[in-house]
A and B are shown apart, each in its own frame.
Chain A
């Protein structure tokens, strides 16, 4: 068994940023394990621009953003293994991996950083009635086919779900000569970023039908048509609203699920809401020395936030192996998300271990206009920030200050909620 100070599972944006920050913090032996044939993760197929405005103050495409970090990993001579699948992580941080070149092997890690990212929700998880012909793809699969492999999945397209990847692919397929007939969204609001609705649908006059879903799929060998219908407020199709669209391609952009099989097997405690690990202020899971960041922790809409979060995970993993991540004295403060706020990351804070400033990220459960993000320390309201608009597709944040928390030694819980006034 070989030994490494830090093993990072996943070489996408989270894994790369975590590796770079751990090296900057002085950690020598770092290993990134990546299952694809190259570093960069999903960014390599996200060829559209709009990445990096927060991190680099310029608008980059996905591959360019990824390369900024890949370059730093190469310059720092951080070790990485490609085409390598991690099979298991044990509670005492033994990582079992395999690849064609090296076979099966084990590594003892001083700390492990989980950075496996997420996966698209497949058709099988959506309960769409009808036949199961060829021509139905997750939006990300179509994105990989078009942008990496150079193949067009089809010519006449219907898209179910208005997540960002679906919106981006509506534009991409249109530019490559396909006809995108409609985007149907089950919810009464889009799960995608505003800018993508403007730039990917409105620019090309592609209709977005909110509160609609696919109720039939036709075609035995290959897809020939889909039928969509309006749904009521319980998500049930309304008879008489059916519209049939002939098409050869159906793209599904119906949500992303953190990929946590490894975490679960390791005994990491999971959140039912994010499907990601429950972490403390140091982005550490319930297993000491196992950290999580990026989309495996909770699905982000901005890679800049992934990089920032992963940088913190890398720094904290470095502190852990150097024995600087203090044993928590005293109680953890619980952060409770309620009344409009669905979850927070992190979900507990130990004041002794927190930095001077802590960014707490969360998502809202519905669209809120002219509402307030409120933070309560026990029963006392300490923050009350007005927001013009909040939507489930766009992550929100509040910043907590260490000195404010330290001034309240008896504080038991922090509550984040959305208030009308």
Chain B
């Protein structure tokens, strides 16, 4: 990637936009150092705005207080325990939702009859916001983990279905036709040809759903129950402890970042493997 961008930028271009980026004379520009510097700069701005009274509010603590609250919370367990509880719910919901999503997406993308029958139902369910569905959900699922995990899976399933169907539909028909001509069974074609070819798109959906799963877990925990980071956020807000609220938000942000980074690494491997599998066929 770096080489590719390098080539693009080093080519003399008539408009001269490439020059803005320093023509790679500074290799540091190609690392995330600049990105983290931006984040730090914004956090400093936050600190100053609270310390110097640019923003006066009970709900706007300096970032340094948020950091100390985070540190305290993680060691005392007041933040670590809810975080662990949330992660457990999130992972269960994500795994259930994404596997259902991929299977459903592959089916809808390949079996046209099913697509006609089921897709309208999905499209009708998709825009329904969680808070609107709370009463019937409580009726069927109660207030505990079942409710929260279901809600997470529900949120995860749609982007995965959409991107899987999108990926399947973009596959070259010739590819599938060839596989069928060579006598590959329908199931085999699905697994060995369709799935690998749709993988980049599926991965995009999985990646979007990952942070969506985290978001939804937190929101679901705000409905009811006394555990999880969502409950911590609300309690801190209503207990007038804004630094603890932002500490919880900070934890979510960092966990989300790490999850995403982990996913990108995993994705690279999966895609490489699938490309190889693709070449084999």
Query: Real complex partners, A and B?
Result: no
